[in-house]
Amino acid sequence: MRRSVTIARLVAAATAFSCAVLLVGCGKPAKTQAHKVTLTLACWEGPEGLSSLMKLLDRYKKMHPNVHIEIQQVPGSQYYQRLKIQFAAGVAPDIMQMAYDQLPSFAERNTLEPLDRLIKRDRFPINEMFPQLLPALKYKGKFYGLPRGWTTFVLYYNKDMFREAGVPFPREGWTWDDFLYACKKVTKDVNGDGRIDQFGCDAPTQADGIAFWIWQNGGRMFTPDMKKCLLDSPEAIEAVQFLADCQYKYNVFPTPEQAQDLGGGSEMFRNGRQAMFIQGRWACLVFRGATYPDGRKIDWDVAPPPMKKQKATVLFANCYVLRRNGPNLEEAWKLMKWLTGYEGQKHQARTGRDMPSFVRVANSPDFLDPANPPEHDRVFLDVAKYARPLEVDANTGTVNELITNEIMQIFTAHKDVRRAMRSLASTINRIQQRGAK
């Protein structure tokens, strides 16, 4: 079908540009044989993630020798824009990775295959997954994605620094005050050059980073119908003000200049310059084997997030999704079942990077690996009780960008929190009231 269209174009173009176009024709790859299937898979994986994915796919290919899988790796920063271009051009991949917060935007535009029929038909064990994860996979009541893995956001902390400062380790139920106290205790000028070079924690840069605190303060980002943005509510302003105070008033978060000198949050934690760091499971991989500049190993662990009015944390899911009515839909679904099913989840759990979506795998040694830090892997599962996905809809991409920019204004340009949050909420409200497009 696609081939014949191309040939028609070729003929048309050849009348005007026969010479060059003929040369082009020679460069076209030959079509694969009928019984062979070439599946295209788009992913954002970096070097380690890609080699892990390749291993998993190799096992799949051994079982399905007729399937050839072409991986399209795209850097995260350009990933979704490439997908949109590909969908618009009708050359979207058969199966692709997608963060759950992007599902609505793509599903709304009729680009993704709804999975309910397939899940039901093949009895995919979706009910054996963590139930709080399921809403993140749905849009308007239908399943669109199945998780590669997921994570809750927890508090990473440097045990050495806590010990040295004489502060008890963070544990379930500790509060914002405890957090601030710990921050103040560990922040100091280590090398004595008059500049602070060890900090408590760092300011958030993205929407999930502030939702984490706003929820703990009993607030919300949006009303349940998503019509109204609540970032200008007292709870939200208070939460962000707390973070701004940590940076500007108590100086326990690095300023952007300081963070930049020291390499940014995750880098600072990894080099023993920052006592705490809020992040999902994937940071474990970065922090394993982390050392101080003098080569000593950093002793770190994870703990539940601090609380104010309630316990709350963010969950995040990385999914696989299928191209709607794609030419290889059946084969793509088969591969997706493998990647997101028990086999795939076990593999993924062993990499240490994601939390497995199945309760059974999560409670197995595959995930609760005693050989590797953190010591308390279980914290990720424990906080799942009160974890929830970000409040998202089809506008989330635009909204998140606005939030990111405004947060930056607060934490780099010292913009007044109340003013920033109000203008942010009113901008977002204009978008939300225009409705999902």
Partner 1 sequence: MKRRRIIGDIATYAVLSAVGISMLVPFGWMIVASLRDKSEFFTQARSLFPSGIHWDNYVQAWTTVPFGAFFKNSVIVAVCVTLGQLLTSSLAAYAFARMRFRGREALFIAYLSTMMVPTQVTMIPLFIMMVKLRWVDSYYALIVPFLASAYGCFLLRQFFLTIPQELEDAARIDGCGHWSTYWRIILPLSKPALSAFGVIAFLGSWNSFIWPLIVINRPTMKTIPIGLQSLQGFYGDANWAVLMAGAVIAALPMLVLFFLAQKQFIEGITLTGLKA
Partner 2 sequence: MTSRRKPLVRGESLAAAGFLAPSFVGLLVFAIVPIIGAFVVSLLDWDILTPPRYVGLANYAEIWRELTHGETLRTVLLNTIYFTAGTVPLAMAISLAIALLLNRRLWGVGAFRVIYFLPTVTSIVALSIVWRLMYNPDYGIINRFLRLFISHPPGWLADPNWAMPAIIIMSVWTGLGYNAILYLAGLQGISSTYYEAAKIDGANAWQLFRHVTWPLLSPTTLFIFTMSVISGFQVFTQIYMMTAGKPTPQTMVYVYHVYSEAFTSFRMGYASALAFVLFLLILVVTLGQLSITKRWVYYGG
Q: Closest CB to partner 1 among 37 and 361? A: 37
Contact 303, 371 (CB under 8 A): no
For position 5 contacting partner 1 by CB under 8 A, the verdict is yes
With the CA atoms of 372, 376, 377 and 379 taken in that order, what torsion angle do they form, in degrees rounded to the nearest 10? -160
We find the least distance from the C-beta atom of residue 368 to partner 2, in angstroms, to be 38
State the binding partner of 299 from partner 1, partner 2, none, CB within 5 to 8 A by kind.
none
Determine the number of helices (DSSP H) and then strands (DSSP E) in the chain. 18, 11
CA–CA gap between residue 367 and residue 384 (Å, rounded): 15
Q: Which of 72, 73, 364, 398 binds partner 2 (CB under 8 A)?
A: 398
For position 54 contacting partner 1 by CB under 8 A, the verdict is no
CA–CA gap between residue 300 and residue 126 (Å, rounded): 34
For position 63 contacting partner 1 by CB under 8 A, the verdict is no
For position 258 contacting partner 2 by CB under 8 A, the verdict is no
CA–CA gap between residue 95 and residue 336 (Å, rounded): 7
Considering only the stretches 26-34, 190-198, 277-285, 358-366, report the one whose residues sit in contact with partner 1 under the rule CB under 8 A.
Answer: 26-34
Which residue is it, tokens 């920052």?
A: 274
Q: Which of 52, 73, 132, 241 binds partner 1 (CB under 8 A)?
A: 73
Considering only the stretches 76-84, 155-163, 354-362, 376-384, report the one whose residues sit in contact with partner 2 under the rule CB under 8 A.
Answer: 76-84
For position 426 contacting partner 2 by CB under 8 A, the verdict is no
Number of residues binding to partner 1, judged by CB under 8 A: 32
Cis peptide before 374 (omega within 30 of 0): yes
State the binding partner of 398 from partner 2, partner 1, none, CB within 5 to 8 A by kind.
partner 2
CA–CA gap between residue 319 and residue 150 (Å, rounded): 8
Q: Which of 52, 72, 251, 423 binds partner 1 (CB under 8 A)?
A: 72
We find the least distance from the C-beta atom of residue 267 to partner 1, in angstroms, to be 10
Number of residues binding to partner 2, judged by CB under 8 A: 19
CA distances, 424 to each of 93, 159, 403 (Å):
35, 37, 7
Site string for partner 1, 75-114 (x = CB under 8 A): x-xx---x--xx-xxxx-----------------------
DSSP per-residue string spanning 349-412? HHHTSSB-SBHHHHTSTTTS-TTSS-TTTHHHHHGGGGEEE----TTHHHHHHHHHHHHHHHHH
Q: Which residues have a Cβ under 8 Å from the Cβ of 47 and sit 6 or more positions away?
A: none
Q: Closest CB to partner 2 among 104 and 389? A: 104
CA–CA gap between residue 262 and residue 37 (Å, rounded): 49
Q: Of 96, 100, 126, whose CA–CA distance to 318 is shortest?
A: 100
With the CA atoms of 433, 317, 79 and 399 taken in that order, what torsion angle do they form, in degrees rounded to the nearest 10? 20
Considering only the stretches 28-36, 160-168, 282-290, 401-409, report the one whose residues sit in contact with partner 2 under the rule CB under 8 A.
Answer: 401-409
For position 9 contacting partner 1 by CB under 8 A, the verdict is yes
Q: Which of 11, 17, 110, 296 binds partner 1 (CB under 8 A)?
A: 17
We find the least distance from the C-beta atom of residue 376 to partner 1, in angstroms, to be 28
CA distances, 151 to each of 62, 181, 315, 353, 355 (Å):
30, 27, 6, 9, 5
For position 8 contacting partner 2 by CB under 8 A, the verdict is no
Query: Chain centroid to CA 57: how far?
Result: 22
Binding interface with partner 2 (CB under 8 A): 16-17, 77, 81, 84-85, 87-88, 109, 111, 260-261, 397-398, 401, 405, 408, 412, 437
Binding interface with partner 1 (CB under 8 A): 2, 5-6, 9, 13, 17, 19-21, 23-24, 27-29, 40, 46-47, 70-75, 77-78, 82, 85-86, 88-91
